[in-house]
Amino acid sequence: MLLRRIRRYIVAGLLVWLPVGATIVVVAFLIDLMDRVLFLIPPPYRPEALIGFRIPGLGAVLALIVLILTGMLVANLIGRRMVNSYESLVAQIPLVRTVYGAVKRFAELVLSDSSDSFKKVLLIEYPRKDLYSLCFQTSEHPPEAEARTDREMIAVFLPTTPNPTSGFMLFVPAEDVVELDMSVEEALKMIISLGVVVPEWHPVHPG
């Protein structure tokens, strides 16, 4: 019993630290890559030569600038055409297109600025009565679904665990949905950790 509890704690700790470690590694790699890019600049024109001293973390600033410039580029017509051409090329590669497409769709949902897409964490009875699953609201009032069922409906995305980039899109009657207080980030941590990482909840009592 004690060994089982210790093992559970170790797994819970790994589930917390592995994403953090992966994020640190990716960010460090990106910053190091940008620092190395600076070496491609002729020595007389490098920042340290122009200002007289080396600036630590200049690669991070360069990475941020690259992200901003990339966003500005894809926001216009020419940039969108370039991205569409690139994605058409990626779509020809069997394994890469699957991974790229799944990650891209999931990122679009999570990072969307629309009013209700991936902004609410919901609880629904699935796959049967008295069994509940976490899901994310993606839209409200789908016209045809509501017209055909004569009920107020909500479109939700039900992610699989531990890979939340795959899952099911469901239409659920509004009266069967329970809205939760947890954030999208907390829900994702719980899904990825197989339910081991449970966010704290402090109910608010009026008065």
Instruction: Tell which residue, 130, 119, 101, has the closest CA to residue 187.
Output: 119
Angle, helices 77-90/94-110, rounded to nearest 10 degrees: 140
pLDDT tens per residue across span 129-155: 999 999 999 888 899 999 999 999 999
Share of the chain above pLDDT 90, in %: 21
Alpha-carbon distance of 81 to 78, in angstroms, equals 5
Distance from C-alpha of 129 to C-alpha of 131, rounded to nearest angstrom:
6
Torsion-angle region of 118 (φ positive above 0: left; ψ -120 to 50: alpha; else: beta) = left
- Residue in this structure with the two tokens 């704690």, named with its chain if needed: 9
Q: How many helices (H) and strands (E) does the chain have?
A: 7, 5
pLDDT, tens only, 49-106? 666 656 555 666 766 676 677 777 766 767 677 777 877 877 777 766 666 666 666 6
Structure tokens at 5: 């509890």
27-48 average pLDDT score: 65
